[in-house]
Structure 1
């Protein structure tokens, strides 16, 4: 190889070594996958947090609406009907929006009352939604006699009714599916509870279903 050709190669190599024009692009290309993973992971965690909040709001709203629902009776005490229960469920389904609680979850509404012996009693219980979940805290008829039934809710914040009153106790279970990364945020069941005392007088002898009768959303045993 001729001497001037070697010199030209050396000069080209030095220019190439000093050239920084594409360095930022190369560094960005290396860091892009990491930045993308971090960004999408943040979106996934934020979506999980928002879903927890929305499910909690559904539980609170359902308990509140059930505590107010009633049919006024002329010269009588207002009463709770199957129709009123179904309306509160439909309201919760509309509130859930894109979560589609009917397809992806279960709403459980229980009337916690006091039995004739002063114990806690699940007088009636209704369910809504296609997910196959049962109440974690008691089923209809639990505590009908005696004082052994402790009430509803986690042990550290148990809900108990007072004599002559009813508590609308709500459990919401939602099947969460991750948007992107099941390895970072796996599919899981989000469970929330809420409870509200019945606001006004209510006939607690039964849950009524006068004509035209409404569907009864009984819970599986």
Structure 2
């Protein structure tokens, strides 16, 4: 039989009080600590994506090789170079495995804003990963408006196939007309008269440190634009021999 004095001693025993308080508070402290780590990583990932988008738009606005007309020809080789640079910058994020990069050439000619050509890199597909602001599309074998959801990507928009023995098809596939420019409402970007801008869009599935149980699934989005720096030949993207692979947006590769 337990004596009353035994209960009295237990009631007055405080030797395990600190351990008990720690056990009760540890889950709260741990959750707050993990949340802080996750939010910090999310902010850092957002910053990285922003810097990659800016670097890609900047690089794409500069590349090219001089032609006989004192202009810069943009080659598929050049486009591939700048896309690969973006991929390398995003290696630690596994950017092309977990996201999608879209590079668009928004150009102005005769008062018309047009997405002349687009190149893409990344495995992710569908709404939220394909371009949010317009696409080079084709429907019934004719160029379509950029917001036509029933149309598919036009892999021949703005390209030159002369090196393969076929005629230059850039005139018959000039891209897609876009009204009001590219970007979010209230901050859309338009190309200068008789010139163009490089518009970069990156969509990315955030890879959380602690799993989705803490902050849920996040899809990150970053855009950047630069006006084309040199006197570029806007009639086409050339592909002289030896030809380079075209990373058109109907393809989903890493």
* Structure 1 residue corresponding to 2:135, chosen from 134, 139, 142: 139
Deviations 1:5-44 (A, max 9, x none): 96xx62x544443332221111101111221112112222
Deviations 1:164-194 (A, max 9, x none): 2110001001111322242332223211111
- Verify: 1:173 aligned to 2:203, yes or no: yes
Tell me which residue corresponds to 1:30.
24
**Bigger shift: residues 154-163 or 183-192:** 183-192
Aligned counterparts of 2:58 and 2:241: Cα–Cα separation in 1:
26
Tell me which residue corresponds to 1:185.
215
Structure 1 position 138, deviation (Å) = 1.2
Aligned counterparts of 1:210 and 1:181: Cα–Cα separation in 2:
47
Structure 1 position 214, deviation (Å) = 0.4
Partner-residue secondary structure (3-state), 1:158: coil
Partner-residue secondary structure (3-state), 1:171: strand
Gaps of 5+ in 2: 137-142, 147-173
* Structure 1 residue corresponding to 2:75, chosen from 73, 77, 81: 81
Larger C-alpha radius of gyration, 1 or 2? 1
Structure 1 position 147, deviation (Å) = 7.6
TM-score where L is the length of structure 2: 0.76
Gaps of 5+ in 1: none
Aligned counterparts of 2:216 and 2:24: Cα–Cα separation in 1:
28
Q: CA RMSD in A?
A: 2.4
Aligned counterparts of 1:209 and 1:118: Cα–Cα separation in 2:
28
Aligned counterparts of 2:211 and 2:94: Cα–Cα separation in 1:
21
Tell me which residue corresponds to 2:167.
none
Aligned counterparts of 1:121 and 1:146: Cα–Cα separation in 2:
5
- Verify: 1:52 aligned to 2:46, yes or no: yes
Conserved 8 A contact 1:72-1:79: yes
Structure 1 position 220, deviation (Å) = 2.4
- Verify: 1:153 aligned to 2:147, yes or no: no
**Bigger shift: residues 85-94 or 175-184:** 175-184
Conserved 8 A contact 1:108-1:171: yes
TM-score where L is the length of structure 1: 0.87
Tell me which residue corresponds to 2:236.
206
Partner-residue secondary structure (3-state), 1:204: coil
Write 1 or 2 for the structure with the bigger share of helix. 1
- Verify: 1:127 aligned to 2:157, yes or no: no
